[in-house]
A = this chain, B = another copy of it.
Amino acid sequence: MPKRISRPKQEQFEKSLRGILAYNIRFFRFENGISQEELAFRCELDRTYISAVERCIWNVSLGNIEKIAGALTVEPWQLLVPPQ
């Protein structure tokens, strides 16, 4: 059975640009109803890489921001906007 995807808690996000990116990826994953595995598959990146990005571990490159945004069908800039 697939793991349930939970909506990220806005008050819990790490207040850094990495934290904003992590929050937004998780948020749009939730909106799209897709797992880390599915997102990783869609953007041809490794599942462990997506997981690390969501844990603010990686200094993601522009090229990968573009791939992830494409897979989530959002504009790249939307991934960097702080949650309201």
Contact = CB atoms under 8 A, between A and B. Distances in A.
Query: At the interface, is chain A mostly helix, strand, loop or mixed?
Result: helix
Interface in A45-72: 59-63, 65-66
A29 interface: no
Interface residues of A, number: 17
Contact of A17 (B18, B60, B76): B76
Interface of A: 17-18, 21, 59-63, 65-66, 75-81
B59 A60 contact: no
With most chain B CB atoms within 10 A of its CB, the pick from A17, A18, A65, A76 is: A17
A10 to B, nearest CB: 17
Contacts of A60: 61-62
